[in-house]
């Protein structure tokens, strides 16, 4: 069979003299299973070899471009016009009778071609066709009747609709020439392939979008973050329709992308998470190698900065003042110092220490949510010491040596604790008094004296004394309220009662308190 040139009135499928198809002519000529293959280039048929040509059956396909005819001389092929051919010697094929074209079993149709009429893509012809309409041409195979139709009289093959290579990239057809009356085959059936040739009709897409990636803050320039990969449904083996190039359309001040691999990297040093912790990068993939006219697709990459320990801790103030009552019990909270560390997690852990040894025994410090909590460790006495001044240090227990230059990773603050004077009750010179008195001593016999002072002032002039009636129900004793001297009211008999325990109360004019004194009656010698 041969594929004859389309009529001048038919719509050509491939533009005349297509340089792109001509350049790829040699690449597309393949020999498969001993069959001769060719390619339509500018509607022209490219021969495979002389010997193979001579061995083909007489049913063949014929094609050409206008008045251009192929010629083969001395093992070399060239293209000549009919005018040039007419001036040369008659064209003879070696080892075969003269024919006007070469045999082949494969040609191409450009996808997505749309025209007002079916497109003529070739013509079946056999030398057995006498031109009287008795020869019937038939097609069988994929898409026959729906995609490809043939004129049974002329053998013209048309494609009836637009083809999409991404849906189906080739069709296998079988051509047959029969006698129209008898149905007898005039030639053996011949199989050929129609390949759908790719055009750039699919933009790149990112199947795994959106992307989220992490990179440590302060990372060096060129640190790899993530690799994004786009897909293009066009034919990667033909032209540049699926050759992708990556670029950044937003975020190029901070990041770069490898145009071939799609690997996103940092473009600047010292990106500080504490200043900005998240960046939105827009990446573009463009086909046609990035050249003008290529299709493109975009995706977003959210880049988040992970934390490193690049910030030392600091107290919010360098000096802190607190006060506590002298009556406060151990364990009472005195005050809190607030520290800051903008890092996160273990990089923001803080430890607090009281640097002064003496004060560290009186006060304790514990860390709680970035605060140093000062706690009383011992009882305080305003009259002994009314203020304490000491230093508290905050440190990061975990330090990254890469950022030690940003240190030191510690800070100090001065703490002053004022002891508040409380209105304390009178304080006896002794907690327990042991006094002796002779038995049978006449009334108003002196027993002894108790003494108390006001601890706030150290004076005793405002102290008043009294005996708790419950401790002396018989009223055997009397005390001078202003001096604390104790006397007996009646004679005491040792044999009746050897001990008398009484309670003496010392009272301030605005307050009161109590102390106990025990008295022992001693027997007289007479």
CATH number of the structural domain 211-306: 2.60.40.60
Secondary structure class of 26 (helix, strand, coil): helix
Listed residue (120, 70, 103) closest to 191, CA to CA: 103
**C-alpha to C-alpha distance for 24 and 9, rounded to whole angstroms:** 28
- List Cβ neighbours of 69 (8 Å cut-off, separation of 6 or more): 79, 80, 81, 82, 85, 100
Unique residue bearing structure tokens 């304080």: 427
Task: Report the top-level CATH class of 424-510.
Answer: mainly beta
pLDDT in tens, 195-227: 888 788 889 999 999 999 999 999 999 999 999
**3-state secondary structure (DSSP) of residue 205:** strand
Tokens 């006698």 sit at which residue?
A: 179
Helix residue ranges, H only, 356-438: 357-362
Per CATH, which fold does 106-197 belong to? Immunoglobulin-like (2.60.40)
Residues 6 or more apart whose Cβ sits within 8 Å of residue 485: 446, 448, 449, 479
Q: Where in the chain is the domain with CATH 2.60.40.60?
A: 106-197, 211-306, 314-420, 424-510
End-to-end CA distance of the chain: 166
Smallest Cα–Cα separation from 413: which of 396, 428, 391? 391
Among the listed residues 140, 159, 151, the one whose alpha carbon sits nearest the alpha carbon of residue 180: 151
* pLDDT tens, position by position, 399-416: 988 888 887 999 999 999
Among 521, 482, 464, CA closest to 498: 521
Residues 198 and 111 sit within 8 Å (Cβ to Cβ): yes
Residue-wise pLDDT tens for the chain (526 aa)?
A: 554 444 434 444 433 333 333 323 333 332 222 233 333 333 333 333 333 333 333 444 544 333 333 333 233 222 222 333 333 333 333 444 433 333 445 667 787 777 677 888 778 888 888 888 899 999 999 889 888 999 999 888 888 888 888 888 888 999 899 999 898 988 888 888 888 887 888 899 999 999 999 999 999 999 999 999 999 988 888 788 899 999 999 999 999 999 999 999 999 998 999 999 999 999 999 999 999 889 999 999 999 999 999 999 999 999 999 999 999 999 999 999 999 999 999 999 999 999 999 999 999 999 998 999 999 999 999 888 999 999 999 999 999 888 888 879 999 999 999 999 887 788 898 889 999 888 888 888 999 999 998 887 778 888 899 999 999 888 889 999 899 999 998 888 888 888 889 999 998 876 545 444 444 444 333 2
Estimate to the nearest angstrom the gap between the alpha carbon of 123 and the chain centroid: 60
CATH number at 314-420? 2.60.40.60
Q: What residues pair up with 59 in beta bridges, in sequence order?
A: 126
């Amino acid at each position: 069979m041969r594929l004859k040139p389309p009529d001048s009135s038919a719509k050509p499928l491939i533009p005349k003299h297509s340089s792109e198809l001509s350049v790829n002519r040699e690449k597309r000529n393949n020999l498969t299973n001993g069959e001769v293959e060719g390619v339509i280039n500018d509607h022209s048929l490219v021969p495979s070899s002389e010997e193979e040509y001579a061995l083909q059956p007489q049913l063949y396909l014929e094609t050409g471009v206008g008045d251009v005819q192929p010629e083969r001389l001395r093992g070399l092929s060239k293209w000549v016009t009919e005018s040039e051919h007419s001036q040369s010697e008659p064209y003879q094929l070696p080892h075969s009778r003269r024919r006007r074209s070469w045999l082949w079993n494969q040609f191409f149709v450009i996808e997505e071609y749309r025209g007002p009429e079916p497109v003529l893509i070739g013509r079946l012809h056999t030398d057995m066709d006498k031109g009287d309409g008795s020869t019937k041409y038939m097609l069988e195979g994929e898409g026959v009747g729906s995609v490809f139709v043939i004129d049974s009289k002329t053998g013209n093959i048309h494609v009836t609709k637009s083809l999409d290579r991404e849906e189906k990239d080739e069709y296998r057809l079988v051509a047959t020439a029969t006698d129209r009356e008898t149905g007898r085959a005039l030639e053996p059936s011949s199989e050929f392939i129609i390949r759908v040739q790719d055009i750039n009709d699919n933009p790149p897409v990112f199947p795994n979008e959106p992307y989220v990636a992490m990179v440590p803050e302060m990372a060096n320039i060129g640190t790899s973050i993530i690799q994004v990969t786009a897909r293009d449904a066009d034919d990667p083996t033909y032209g540049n329709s699926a050759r992708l190039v990556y670029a950044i359309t937003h975020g190029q001040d901070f990041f770069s992308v490898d145009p071939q691999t799609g690997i996103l990297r940092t473009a600047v040093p010292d990106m500080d998470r504490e200043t900005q912790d998240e960046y939105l990068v827009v990446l573009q993939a463009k086909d046609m190698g990035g050249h003008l006219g290529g299709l493109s697709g975009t995706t977003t990459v959210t880049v988040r900065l992970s934390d490193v320990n690049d910030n030392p801790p600091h107290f919010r103030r360098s000096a802190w003042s607190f006060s506590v009552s002298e009556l406060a019990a151990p364990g009472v909270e005195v005050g809190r110092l607030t520290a800051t560390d903008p890092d996160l997690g273990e990089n923001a852990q803080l430890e607090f220490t009281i640097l002064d040894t003496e004060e560290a025994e009186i006060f304790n410090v514990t860390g709680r949510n970035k605060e140093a909590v000062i706690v009383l460790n011992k009882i305080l006495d305003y009259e002994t010491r009314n203020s304490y001044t000491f230093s508290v240090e905050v440190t990061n227990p975990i330090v990254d040596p890469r950022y030690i230059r940003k240190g030191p990773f510690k800070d100090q603050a001065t703490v002053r604790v004022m002891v508040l004077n409380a209105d304390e009750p009178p304080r006896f010179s002794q907690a327990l008094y042991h006094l002796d008195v002779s038995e049978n001593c006449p009334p108003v016999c002196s027993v002894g004296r108790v003494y108390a002072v006001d601890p706030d002032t150290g004076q005793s002039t405002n102290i008043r004394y009294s005996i708790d009636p419950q401790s002396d129900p018989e009223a055997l004793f009397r005390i001078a309220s202003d001096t604390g001297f104790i006397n007996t009211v009646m004679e005491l008999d040792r044999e009746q009662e050897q001990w008398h325990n009484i309670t003496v109360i010392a009272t301030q004019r605005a307050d009161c308190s109590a102390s106990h004194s025990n008295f022992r009656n001693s027997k007289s010698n007479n």
